[in-house]
Amino acid sequence: MELATLMSIFGLPLVLSGLSAFVISPLIIGIYKRLGWLDDPKKSKHPKVVHKYPVPRGGGVVIFLSLFIGTSLFLGLDKHAIGIMLGALILTVIGIMDDVWDLNPYLRLGLGILAAGMVVAAGIGIAFITNPFDGVIQLNEPQIAFYLFGKTRTIWVLADLLAIVWIVWMMNMVNWSKGVDGQLPGYVVVAAIVIALLSFRFSEDVTQWNVSVLAAITAGAYLGFLPWNFYPQKIMPGYGGGSLAGYLLAVLSILSGAKLATMILVLGVPTIDAVYAMGRRILKGKSPVWGDRGHLHHRLMDVGWGKRRIAVFYWLVAAAFGMIALNLNSTEKLFTIVLLVALFLGLMLWINYFGSLSARQGRDSG
């Protein structure tokens, strides 16, 4: 495919979506400030809070509006797009409610499952996954057929169930890695671009063009939001912006041909950090979904890293493993994921046992 064609498919949606997010962000900041919907660290005693001044959340509204504009202009609202947008709308509404009232995590989880169900109801599922050792594992059986609204419809039990689990997992896992200014939007941009590049490899399949466009819209939305969220942040992603990021990346990884391993590798640090955090909480007898101050970005702050440094670290790791993932087969991806797990555990071991010796007290949080 020629460069000019690639730019028209990917570049225009990315630029427009980015400009939309960049322009909408200060409007949402102003609305949230006028309504008094601010995350004030003096009022919140939660240990995960690391900001020092009142900041509006509201990032989910910015992302959703940018997503809606880009999707309407460049993709249109077919059955799949409507399902994706309905799920995104549910997450945005949950995000606004959480911005104002700090919803219970279990309520957010339940409503998140509903959002994922919108995608599956639109006919998007994981029909197969690649066996890292040989061939593929088909998930199209068993099937349940039923008659509804004048048509015979079919539920692919395993395919649909795995899709819901994957989307909900990604929503929560990505949302947990947004603890410092600029951290989340940067690595989401990287992950979306990797999916777009992966889709370009199958450009002879016209269905992959739409995947590239949706990836471009996603990358643009978070890229346009980034200047307002980077240190010192003027707006936070909030639950809406964080869950939408995971939701969109999960959907993109499904639409691009069930590239789950690729997404796991690109988001290796947030993924392993989430598993590590859940295991740590369970071992301590706590809820696995209740936030705390034990994520990797918190621990890096404890040893003296500034927020900008942490954010860029997440971006660079995602970019490095994204480029690696584009050049590996399934077996190589599996071994690379194992290697990444070992590196992460080694880093956490260093922080827990040796990092305190090198921590610089009183350092500016940026």
Between residues 3 and 105, the one the model is more confident about: 105
Model confidence at 363: pLDDT above 80: no
Q: Which of 148-152, 298-302, 352-356 has the highest mean pLDDT?
A: 298-302
Model confidence at 313: pLDDT above 90: yes
Q: pLDDT category, 362, cuts 50, 70, 90?
A: very low
**pLDDT per position as a tens digit, 176-218:** 999 999 999 999 999 999 998 887 776 555 567 789 999 999 9
The confidence score (pLDDT) of residue 205 equals 57
The confidence score (pLDDT) of residue 89 equals 98
CA 15 to chain centre: 20
Model confidence at 289: pLDDT above 70: yes
The confidence score (pLDDT) of residue 354 equals 64
Question: Residue 244 in contact with residue 63, Cβ under 8 Å?
Answer: yes
Question: Residue 311 in contact with residue 231, Cβ under 8 Å?
Answer: yes
Domain ranges of the chain: 3-358
CA-nearest of 173, 174, 183 to 297 is 183
**pLDDT per position as a tens digit, 334-353:** 889 999 999 898 888 888 77
- The predicted model gives 253-278 an average pLDDT of 89
Model confidence at 154: pLDDT above 90: no
Q: pLDDT category, 361, cuts 50, 70, 90?
A: very low
- The predicted model gives 309-323 an average pLDDT of 95
Tokens of 88: 């995104």
**pLDDT per position as a tens digit, 72-125:** 999 988 889 999 999 999 999 999 999 999 999 999 999 999 999 999 999 999
**pLDDT per position as a tens digit, 22-60:** 999 999 999 999 999 999 888 876 667 788 899 999 999
Question: Residue 311 in contact with residue 186, Cβ under 8 Å?
Answer: yes
Question: What is the distance between the alpha carbons of residues 19 and 17, in angstroms, rounded to a whole number?
Answer: 6
> What's this model's pTM, rounded to 2 decimal places?
0.93
Bridge partners (DSSP) of residue 151 are 148
The confidence score (pLDDT) of residue 50 equals 84
Phi then psi for residue 144, to 5 deg, are -120, 120
